[in-house]
């Protein structure tokens, strides 16, 4: 299995093997910024908000992993089953976008597939073991993100009702 290559240099318009460096680098800057906000929240409100900050930070990391998993699933379709990828509407990912993709149409098609593939395994994925792994990872990240959102919402409601001292 190949490792996911995530370039760290920000150069507008640079595309390497279909990966958009600018979008990946921009997304990667969110995690340190979120960490700083979490530290400031703990300093302002005390350790009582620490569970909320921790759950939120984990949720953001899971969301990032889910988006990379979806991209790798699309890339597996592109590399292994190109005709099926074309039949799906040439979808592009969050960070991965081949040159054949259109900006609007491919993105909209990917949005539809994100929901569809949560509940239905694409027929082309049965013959591609790596696609099954990425699909399972995507589904687990989606489930984890939603559970984490509900936990964060519950903690927030608890703080709203009991106050932070």
Instruction: State how far the Cα of 118 lies from the Cα of 96, in Å rounded to an integer.
Output: 19
- Cβ-in-10-Å burial (0-12, 13-18, 19+) of 144 comes to middle
- Return the exposure string of 81-100: e unless at least 16 CB atoms fall within 10 Å of the residue's CB, then b: beebbeebbbbbbbbbbbee
Which residue, chain included where needed, has tokens 């509407």?
A: 89
Q: How many helices (H) and strands (E) does the chain have?
A: 6, 2
Q: What does the pLDDT profile of the chain (165 residues) look like in tens digits?
A: 333 444 433 333 344 444 443 344 444 445 556 667 777 777 777 777 777 778 778 888 898 899 999 999 999 999 999 999 999 999 999 888 888 888 788 989 999 999 999 999 999 998 899 999 999 999 999 999 888 888 878 877 887 788 665
For 152, residues 6+ apart whose C-beta sits below 8 A from its C-beta are 52, 55, 56, 59
């Amino acid at each position: 299995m190949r490792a996911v290559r995530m370039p760290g240099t920000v150069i507008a318009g640079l595309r390497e093997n279909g990966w958009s460096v600018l979008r990946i680098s921009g997304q990667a800057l969110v995690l340190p910024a979120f960490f700083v906000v979490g530290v400031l929240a703990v300093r302002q409100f005390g350790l009582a908000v620490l569970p909320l900050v921790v759950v939120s930070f984990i949720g953001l990391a899971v969301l990032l992993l889910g988006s990379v998993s979806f991209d790798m699933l699309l890339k597996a379709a592109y590399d292994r089953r190109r005709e099926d990828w074309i039949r799906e509407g040439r979808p592009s990912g969050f960070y991965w976008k081949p040159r054949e993709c259109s900006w609007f149409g491919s993105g909209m098609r990917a949005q539809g597939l994100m929901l569809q593939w949560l509940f239905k395994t694409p027929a082309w994925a049965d013959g591609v073991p790596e696609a099954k792994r990425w699909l399972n990872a995507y589904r687990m990240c989606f489930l984890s993100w939603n559970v984490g959102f509900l936990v964060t919402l519950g903690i927030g409601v608890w703080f709203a009702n009991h106050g932070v001292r």
